[in-house]
Structure 1
Amino acid sequence: MEEIPYDEKRNAKVASPATSLDDEKKSLGDVENVKEVNNSDDSLATAGAWLTVHEQMRRRSYLVIGDDDDPAYNVLPQIVREICDFDDDPTMPVLTFRFFVISAIFTALGAWLTQMGFFRTTYIPYSIYFVQIASLYVGRFMARVLPSKRVGYGRFSFELNPGEFSIKEHVAVVLAANTGATNNLGDYVLAPLQVFYNEPMNGWLAILFMWSAVFIGFSYASFARVFLIENPSIPFPLTLQQAAVFKAMRSSVIGDSSTARRQMRVFWSTIIIFFCWQFLPEYAFPFTSSLALLCWFSKNPTTQFLGSGLGGAGILNITLDWSNIGSTMIYYPYWAQLNYVAACIITAWILIPIGFTKGIWGSDIYPIQTQTLYLRNGSVYPTQELLINGGDLNEVLFDEIGPPMMSAQLRWQYFFSYVAYIGSFVSCMLFQGPQLWSVFRQQWKSGRVYNDKLTQLARVYPQVPLWWNLVLFGVSAAVLIVLTATGVLYMPIYMLFIGLAIGGLIVLPMGFIYAVSGYQMQVGYFNELFYGYAIDAGGTRHPIGSLSYRVISGQCWYEAQSMLSDMKLGHFFHIPPRATLMAQVWGIIVGVPVNYATILWVCNTKGGILTGAITDPNRQWTGQTVISLYNQSISFALIGPRRLFDDPVYTPMLYGFLIGAVVPFILYGLHRLRPKWRFDLWSVPIFGDRCEHFWGNISNSFFVWFILGTLNHMYFKRYRYNFWKKYAYLWGAAADTGYNFNMLIIFIAFSAVKTISMPNWWGNNAVSVERCARFFDCCDLAYHVDIGFYVPEGSLHMQ
């Protein structure tokens, strides 16, 4: 949607009440409509009247900050004006001694916990809200006890205690943790190298490799800043949730707001409740993690497969495990949730049951719920025997056995991933292309595109010089060139340059999707396909080369979107752009070595799980991603897509590119003909990307999620808006925090030193915790415990 010019917005008419789907598009310029706007203490709702928020704000201007007739304010979404503070003190300290100490502690802790999640089936990453809460109290404590004196000499000196722990210090700590307290995609290379090839990478080289891919993503994000950060109509949903927690927390601790104190009571109560509850599904009473209703009413093996959420289709399955739900149903816009759940229903509740019950798409030979590779007769594909001479294909054996056979679900995963990848570019070009082009032209001519209040405040500070980004990119690229040229990454040098180029190309279109919906696109399947074709130009076909390429081209995008989200948070709180960049660099410097140490520890202590010799009954600790990556690299690097697609069974997969290119044009044409029908809300990238999800281990994660999301958006947000804006983001953040704290305690108490398993009882059945054991015996293909489940790369970032 095109942005209304500033001189026209002053006279623009207030939008009429729209549908609840329109409400969710507010980040793209629409005015959100609700049926109730109350003050926390006095009811301000007009009985019987449906007023837009804009109209309500004109009548009760003290509910939002700024004058509605001021173009510097009225271009900002209502929720941003309610959350943000537009008073700024440029002298407030940011990168203090306290910042470096506090951020290092919480970043290291998060990097350790989140990196372990790489080896789990589902998990909610290390909660940034825990960092927000704890760092505030630690910072205020340090402000009280540290002496007020200057340490060091001359220009290398600093104030040990510059006074009150400021909001900017607080946000900077979170920026560092947001960036560094994650898992690093370098695990895509390091874990398979150690597990399957017994060739662990040198520690220093591994850390340099992980650092370099991240820092290149930083430089890419800086070039997209003007399109996504300074644009006032793009608030970043997850960033808004973080900002809401900041406001409530600091108001309750530092200010004198009764509303903020009530908010924090709800926040802390929710943390305690979810912390206590998660001991049941995660350890003591796993039956609650998957309430398979169909299994309770039928002993038929097929029906039990359809109802099982742990290995089956998960139809009408209810989960009470927060790790399967998460707070995304609060901050994902409802139009994105509809695309999301439609894809889940089609794949998990329609395609899987058809393939399983009818035996079509080869499902009578290969299990439909697997990413393992097979021979045509159904035997496991001999992947290790195909690799000879350290990276060559055993041509004799390949001619004998042919290409590997994939399950039907894996094949349509690839198909939909290609739909989503090309669809993201085409959709962005059609729906946002004119606006992005206009921004680019204005930036090129005058260097100033937006003039909203937040941008005005940001211009007070020196911007990040272009040469900073060039140096960051140049040094990182030089490290990767050396690692590639010396064979450490097992890929030819020309693929490095192609990977860097593609990584930069996808930042803007996919970053836009993330900025308006909170949904992170995956790019791994396309990257491995592209690598498989491109490597025909020459160079080793060692499978690790494919994974190295995925890290470089993928890590650039994932880190760029994470940095963009953090830059938006800094934008909301008036953090100097240079301080934002330095905080993020510091977070990565601390986090990556911890990532590497965690990978080594897991690979050395959980080797049985990573190789598939040991199976976790809850399907959580499966080492699924490592084996999945190994199989994918064999298929698309060692064997290659040309050999693979010679088999007619794989030909339909490539039509995904055609579908992804054509469907956005159809939707765009329909939207131009019938704009009120909102065809622009039908997101080909989000739909295709979610269809790519593999349901082989856990398929109960979206039913309850969507029910709660509908309740959140269609009732609370629409009819109880004032209640929603005060408590929704806080409640979701608290639930994630309680869950994460519970996982930390369970790990320390029952897994860190000695594994202590929960004794089997009625709620922890030894055969099937959800009591769907009958479908084990249906046939060999009825149930397949697959450790090759693919975990979305986007899960590396914190919530």
Structure 2
Amino acid sequence: MYKAGSKLEVANTSFSLDSELDDASKKNDEKKLYSSLTDVKEEDVWENEEKEQELEDDLKELPIEVRETVSLEDDPKEPTLTFRYFLMTLIFIPPGAFLDTMSSYRTSSAAYSVFFVQIASYWLGKWLAKILPSKTIRIWKFSFSLNPGPFSVKECVLVTLSAASGATGSQGTTSISVAELFYNQKVNPAVAIFFMWAIVWTGYSFAAIARNFLLYDPQYQWPQALMQTSLFEAFRKSDNNSKLASKQMRVFFIGLVGLTVWQFFPEYIFPMTGSLAFLCWVAPRNQVANFLGSGMSGMGFLNITLDWSNITSSIMIMPYWTQVIKFIAFVVGAWILLPAAKWGNLGSFKHGLMSNSLFLKNGTVYPATRLMTANFQFNETAYQEIGPGYMGTQKIWNMFFDYASYISAITWILFFGHKQIISTGKKLFRRIRSGGNISNEYTDRLNKIQSSYDDVPLWWFLVLFLISFVILITIFATGNMFIPWWAYIVALGFGAIIVTPMSWLYALSNFQLAIGTFNELIYGYMIHAVSGFKHPAGASSYGAIAGDAWYRAQYMLQDQKIGHYMHIPPRAVFFSQIFGELLGVPVNYGCLRWVLNTKREFLSGEKKDPLHQWTGQSLVSYNTMAIQYVLIGPKRLFAEAMYRPLPYGFLAGALAPAIIYILFRLFPKGKFHLWNITIFCSTMSHFYGNLSTGYFSSFIGGTITNFYFYRYRHNLWRKYNYILGAAFDTAFNLAMLLIFIFFSAGKQVAMPSWWGNNSDSVERCFAT
């Protein structure tokens, strides 16, 4: 989830799979490759020095990771948007959209695996190519074949890109859920669905702003796109009966079945395995030992988890140095600051230490609804009577580091990425002067291959934006979704400004910075500058628009980079992304309705979930921010003594990268460029929320996979690392789906209470 910070920080990780070729065969393959690329005889290639030099120059422009991973041959006749493609998108998108939305209400989860879609769609496509009749269907003037021939990897790519677009959650569910859960306001289903569609389309249209900067230039590798490409290239090898590909598939299915069976234990049968609190076993009723060892209501010191949802495949994907920074940040936050706040002088407010709720001074829940009038205006009289809201000390330093992470991302780019900024700026300036497409500035082999396909015209993005604009301005002008129409315009402007630098950061480092708190803060300042409507859910509505304007744009560009690597027609990639989202959003809303109807008591806090999973922590956090920023307002908030240090987070985020950069220049061998402040602050800003288990286990797992195996058993790592990560994430989601079908879809079936499923504390920490 948390990633790196600049190009200098990207680990020198090769994503290539084992070619199993000796040096002699590599030379022969290279000669054949050059021959196929120029459509001349092999002996003529090597005799023609001019053509040979041109080909070498084409390849030299590509980074080594790209040359080792991406195929430099293309068959334009391979099928793309076939009947098989449409059939498989209907199979893979709905479960992913449901599971990813469901996960957003849980404390921890593993995302619906795009690797699963890659692998499963490949084998399903090959099976469909065998069983479907070769029949042509005619509908009016249109016709298509049910089975146009052998299944192509390009079809598999497009199915995966559709799933990456539609088989996901939606930021739009947050404001809808906050309004219904905390303020008993239910949004009209049609308004909700069109709102969720439109904010995504806004992000997709904004991708056009950053596309010319980041899509064509080979220096922007988009690490996640390169990693997925390595799996697609493995499928090409399997078509040639590669023994390695067969082994990989065998490992995948063994991992899938094994972890699916296991996940029934921590999620249903034996919840104790989700948090093995050894200190609690020694002293189950000692308050100090319980707080130290509990992973569900304490520090999680030396706590181990066997629940994959608390670990996820990030330990197999994220560079090890990034995992080290994250673990250091966790140790500082959970193992140093938490006990300092509980038993020391760090913070004077001792109630709700690890809660993200808002409290009165005596520790009772803050009555936020009393601050609103009947028409959702701020009730000054009630505020004077109630007084300010108080937060747990942990949540306060979360906010401080959240502010610091946002500013540090910008200053880190300026210090460590200024050379790339200048280079890209020069190319863009030349494009503006010539009036041409920036892709003409690049002569590498990949851009030459893609030039044979029609690019997506700018007016497609403009039409998509206009559709989303009409939908959203209508929704807000008619008083729906809790914000005034002018705030929507501001959100668009903010998204347009931030989309390129944030996409730049992600393209280089695979690190995506969450700026939700900052968006809500901006909205709070705006809404208090005018009198009128101040519904708390408006903050998350504004954040969804401003956030998706660059968040979705990043993913659209990343998937277009996959299409670039796999030589897919850009217009087919664009269609697959829009089609996937059309299918996914209605399922997002359906899952939202199921969660709020069946888990409402846990999410609202009326009942306690024994697993500490159905807590809706993100919703509680959004609601807390909304109360502070929208109802109380930033000016009143920062006037209170306990909140007064928070704005200094911006100053800390601005200065810390400068200090690291000075150390980097003074001690170039000290690897200070890896001491990424943004990753540290972003991890410190992450709310552990009474669930500190998983971090220690993840660090151990990451040390095994991305340190030991990557460094000392690299061949095994290269062959099976990503395959196993995909299998395990897929297994978790499959297990959750099966548990839902067997024990929740109809009648609720609870697991009987036993020693490993204690109703008071599954960890056996009875004094927390």
TM-score by length of structure 1 reads 0.87
Asked if the contact 2:5–2:511 (Cα under 8 Å) also holds between the matched residues in 1, the reply is: no
Whole-Å separation in 2 of the counterparts to 1:710 and 1:64: 40
Instruction: Give the aligned length.
Output: 737
**Equivalent of 1:422, from 407, 424, 448?**
407
Asked if the contact 1:332–1:517 (Cα under 8 Å) also holds between the matched residues in 2, the reply is: no
Does residue 322 of structure 1 match 2:308? yes
Whole-Å separation in 2 of the counterparts to 1:221 and 1:463: 14
**What does 1:693-732 align with in structure 2 at a 5 Å threshold?**
693-732=686-725
Whole-Å separation in 1 of the counterparts to 2:100 and 2:8: 32
130-139 or 690-699, larger mean C-alpha shift: 130-139
**Equivalent of 1:134, from 120, 129, 133?**
120
Whole-Å separation in 2 of the counterparts to 1:107 and 1:196: 30
Does residue 515 of structure 1 match 2:488? no
Whole-Å separation in 2 of the counterparts to 1:678 and 1:161: 55
Gaps of 5+ in 2: 35-51, 432-437
Q: What's 1:471 paired with?
A: 463
- State the 1:60 CA deviation: 10
Q: What's 1:685 paired with?
A: 678
**Equivalent of 2:447, from 455, 460, 465?**
455
**Equivalent of 1:219, from 191, 195, 205?**
205
Whole-Å separation in 2 of the counterparts to 1:282 and 1:63: 54
- State the 1:264 CA deviation: 1.5
Query: Aligned in 2, Cα 1:96/1:593: closer, same or farther, shift over 3 Å?
Result: same
Whole-Å separation in 2 of the counterparts to 1:524 and 1:238: 23
Whole-Å separation in 2 of the counterparts to 1:360 and 1:391: 36
Q: What's 2:49 paired with?
A: none
Whole-Å separation in 2 of the counterparts to 1:496 and 1:32: 42
Q: What's 2:271 paired with?
A: 286
SS of the residue corresponding to residue 168 of structure 2 reads coil
Whole-Å separation in 1 of the counterparts to 2:32 and 2:262: 37
Q: What's 1:276 paired with?
A: 261
Asked if the contact 2:525–2:633 (Cα under 8 Å) also holds between the matched residues in 1, the reply is: yes
Whole-Å separation in 2 of the counterparts to 1:356 and 1:543: 31
Q: What's 2:518 paired with?
A: 526
- State the 1:157 CA deviation: 2.9
Query: Aligned in 2, Cα 1:239/1:64: closer, same or farther, shift over 3 Å?
Result: farther
Query: Aligned in 2, Cα 1:41/1:177: closer, same or farther, shift over 3 Å?
Result: closer
**What does 1:752-763 align with in structure 2 at a 5 Å threshold?**
752-763=745-756
Asked if the contact 1:308–1:317 (Cα under 8 Å) also holds between the matched residues in 2, the reply is: yes
- State the 1:194 CA deviation: 2.2
- State the 1:33 CA deviation: 8.5
- State the 1:182 CA deviation: 0.8
Whole-Å separation in 2 of the counterparts to 1:590 and 1:397: 45
Q: What's 2:37 paired with?
A: none
237-246 or 732-741, larger mean C-alpha shift: 237-246
Whole-Å separation in 2 of the counterparts to 1:27 and 1:396: 53
Whole-Å separation in 2 of the counterparts to 1:741 and 1:615: 25
Residue type at the aligned position of 2:413 = C
Whole-Å separation in 2 of the counterparts to 1:228 and 1:95: 26
Does residue 264 of structure 1 match 2:238? no
Query: Aligned in 2, Cα 1:625/1:662: closer, same or farther, shift over 3 Å?
Result: same
- State the 1:715 CA deviation: 2.1
- State the 1:415 CA deviation: 0.6
**Equivalent of 2:361, from 376, 389, 392?**
376
Q: What's 1:578 paired with?
A: 571
Whole-Å separation in 1 of the counterparts to 2:274 and 2:725: 19
Whole-Å separation in 2 of the counterparts to 1:60 and 1:303: 65
Whole-Å separation in 2 of the counterparts to 1:551 and 1:682: 31
Whole-Å separation in 2 of the counterparts to 1:729 and 1:76: 23
Whole-Å separation in 1 of the counterparts to 2:25 and 2:219: 18
Asked if the contact 1:65–1:81 (Cα under 8 Å) also holds between the matched residues in 2, the reply is: no
Whole-Å separation in 2 of the counterparts to 1:478 and 1:684: 40
Does residue 248 of structure 1 match 2:229? no
Asked if the contact 1:333–1:517 (Cα under 8 Å) also holds between the matched residues in 2, the reply is: no
- State the 1:41 CA deviation: 5.6
Asked if the contact 2:125–2:151 (Cα under 8 Å) also holds between the matched residues in 1, the reply is: yes
112-121 or 157-166, larger mean C-alpha shift: 157-166
Query: Aligned in 2, Cα 1:625/1:714: closer, same or farther, shift over 3 Å?
Result: closer
Whole-Å separation in 2 of the counterparts to 1:651 and 1:572: 49
Q: What's 2:434 paired with?
A: none
- State the 1:724 CA deviation: 1.6
Q: What's 1:480 paired with?
A: 472
Does residue 338 of structure 1 match 2:338? no
495-504 or 671-680, larger mean C-alpha shift: 671-680
Q: What's 2:43 paired with?
A: none
Q: What's 2:668 paired with?
A: 675
- CA displacement, residues 312-334 of structure 1 (integer Å, 9 cap, x when unaligned): 11111111111111111121122
- State the 1:145 CA deviation: 3.2
- State the 1:245 CA deviation: 2.9
Asked if the contact 1:25–1:333 (Cα under 8 Å) also holds between the matched residues in 2, the reply is: no
**Equivalent of 2:527, from 505, 511, 535?**
535
Asked if the contact 1:206–1:596 (Cα under 8 Å) also holds between the matched residues in 2, the reply is: yes
Query: Aligned in 2, Cα 1:338/1:511: closer, same or farther, shift over 3 Å?
Result: farther
Residue type at the aligned position of 2:187 = M
Whole-Å separation in 1 of the counterparts to 2:445 and 2:194: 40
SS of the residue corresponding to residue 639 of structure 2 reads coil
Query: Aligned in 2, Cα 1:584/1:249: closer, same or farther, shift over 3 Å?
Result: same
Does residue 491 of structure 1 match 2:483? yes
Q: What's 2:388 paired with?
A: 403
Q: What's 2:397 paired with?
A: 412
Does residue 434 of structure 1 match 2:419? yes
Asked if the contact 1:176–1:588 (Cα under 8 Å) also holds between the matched residues in 2, the reply is: yes
Gaps of 5+ in 1: 1-23, 45-55, 777-799
Asked if the contact 1:312–1:696 (Cα under 8 Å) also holds between the matched residues in 2, the reply is: no
Q: What's 1:88 paired with?
A: 74
Residue type at the aligned position of 2:411 = V
**Equivalent of 2:558, from 536, 559, 565?**
565
Query: Aligned in 2, Cα 1:128/1:85: closer, same or farther, shift over 3 Å?
Result: same
Q: CA RMSD in A?
A: 2.7
SS of the residue corresponding to residue 157 of structure 1 reads strand
- CA displacement, residues 443-482 of structure 1 (integer Å, 9 cap, x when unaligned): 3314234332222222221111111111211221222112
- State the 1:27 CA deviation: 6.2
Asked if the contact 1:185–1:555 (Cα under 8 Å) also holds between the matched residues in 2, the reply is: yes
Q: What's 1:8 paired with?
A: none
- State the 1:579 CA deviation: 1.0
Whole-Å separation in 2 of the counterparts to 1:342 and 1:60: 48
Query: Aligned in 2, Cα 1:438/1:292: closer, same or farther, shift over 3 Å?
Result: same
Query: Aligned in 2, Cα 1:70/1:112: closer, same or farther, shift over 3 Å?
Result: same
SS of the residue corresponding to residue 221 of structure 2 reads coil
Whole-Å separation in 1 of the counterparts to 2:453 and 2:521: 44
Query: Aligned in 2, Cα 1:485/1:514: closer, same or farther, shift over 3 Å?
Result: same
Residue type at the aligned position of 1:167 = V
- CA displacement, residues 331-376 of structure 1 (integer Å, 9 cap, x when unaligned): 1122322222221111111111211122641343x12110111112
Asked if the contact 1:362–1:407 (Cα under 8 Å) also holds between the matched residues in 2, the reply is: no
SS of the residue corresponding to residue 172 of structure 1 reads helix
- State the 1:296 CA deviation: 2.9
Whole-Å separation in 2 of the counterparts to 1:738 and 1:33: 26
Asked if the contact 1:355–1:363 (Cα under 8 Å) also holds between the matched residues in 2, the reply is: no
- State the 1:641 CA deviation: 0.9
Q: What's 2:182 paired with?
A: 196
Asked if the contact 2:74–2:567 (Cα under 8 Å) also holds between the matched residues in 1, the reply is: yes
**Equivalent of 1:112, from 93, 98, 104?**
98
Asked if the contact 1:115–1:595 (Cα under 8 Å) also holds between the matched residues in 2, the reply is: yes
- CA displacement, residues 156-181 of structure 1 (integer Å, 9 cap, x when unaligned): 33333222221111110010000111
- State the 1:261 CA deviation: 1.1
Residue type at the aligned position of 1:90 = P
Whole-Å separation in 2 of the counterparts to 1:429 and 1:632: 30
SS of the residue corresponding to residue 152 of structure 1 reads strand
SS of the residue corresponding to residue 278 of structure 1 reads helix
524-533 or 202-211, larger mean C-alpha shift: 202-211
Asked if the contact 1:332–1:519 (Cα under 8 Å) also holds between the matched residues in 2, the reply is: no
